[in-house]
Amino acid sequence: MATVTRRYVFEGADAGELVTVVDPSASVINGSKAWTEIEYDDTISGITDALDEFMGSFGFTFDANAGKDGIRVRSPDGTDKDIKVDDAGNVFVGGFPVPGIIVIRVPLVAGTPGTPDDVVIYNANSPALRILDTVFYVSASVALATVTLRDATGGGGNALSDAFATSTVGVRRNVSLTATGTIAINGTLVLRRSDRGVAGEAVIYARPE
């Protein structure tokens, strides 16, 4: 027995049948594509064809990518929007986060020590965000080096976190900020390492603006 899965997407009412069966004035103007995933034993002769025919009788067609792009719905302005959920559980509509707390995890892999660099999170393509807090976990330390969340590359712009010292391993948290920071839509967000030899991970807590 070889158990496999097969995905189907519902294509909606057939435009031709609406005209023929109902009335020429009937047409599909809105809706969303639902999908379903079926598990079966593909060692049984002819089962895939039989499954396709059965699902087709209900308006479903085979689509291996069904559901992977989220659910598409039509917004009040008449445009189609994809609703997606990322691995951290954040919900996005049309590529932008739904109001709530967003958790962004950014791993930093150690490079050749001795020079600074930027670990880019958004490069002139961010949603509008208010940065609530940042936590940095140091797994590979570099003496006198720091890691800072900034809204521009090259060490420019504004600091959105403390300059986290990375001389020893462990966890670092903001202790000196007096206000939250923001980035505008299509802004930039980076982690600036004063030395690329630093490794670890940043966890950023933000809210859509």
* Shared domain check, 105 and 187: yes
Contact 6, 33 (CB under 8 A): no
Asked whether residue 80 is assigned to any structural domain, the reply reads no
Tell me, what's the pLDDT at 141?
Answer: 97
pLDDT in tens, the chain (209 residues): 578 888 877 766 666 777 777 778 877 666 656 778 888 888 888 899 998 888 888 778 887 766 665 666 666 676 767 777 776 667 777 777 777 788 999 999 999 999 999 999 999 999 899 999 999 999 999 999 999 999 999 999 999 999 999 999 999 999 999 999 999 999 999 999 999 999 999 999 998 88
CATH number at residue 144: 2.60.120
Tell me, what's the pLDDT at 30?
Answer: 62
Tell me, what's the pLDDT at 130?
Answer: 94
* Shared domain check, 116 and 63: no
The pLDDT tens digits for 106-146 are: 999 999 999 999 999 999 999 899 999 999 999 999 999 99
Residues of the domain holding 199: 99-208
Asked whether residue 74 is assigned to any structural domain, the reply reads no
Contact 9, 63 (CB under 8 A): yes
3-state secondary structure the chain: CCEEEEEEEECCCCHHHHHHHHCCCCCCCCCCCCEEEEEEECCCCCHHHHHHHHHHCCCEEECCCCCCCCEEEECCCCCEEEEEECCCCCEEECCEECCCCEEEEEEECCCCCCCCEEEEEECCCCCCEEEEEEEEEEEECCCCCEEEEECCCCCCCCECCCCEECCCCEEEECCCCCCCEEECCCCCEEEEECCCCCEEEEEEEEEEC
* Shared domain check, 105 and 64: no
Asked whether residue 157 is assigned to any structural domain, the reply reads yes
Asked whether residue 93 is assigned to any structural domain, the reply reads no
* Shared domain check, 58 and 106: no
Number of domains in the chain: 2
Q: What is the pTM of this model?
A: 0.59
Asked whether residue 134 is assigned to any structural domain, the reply reads yes
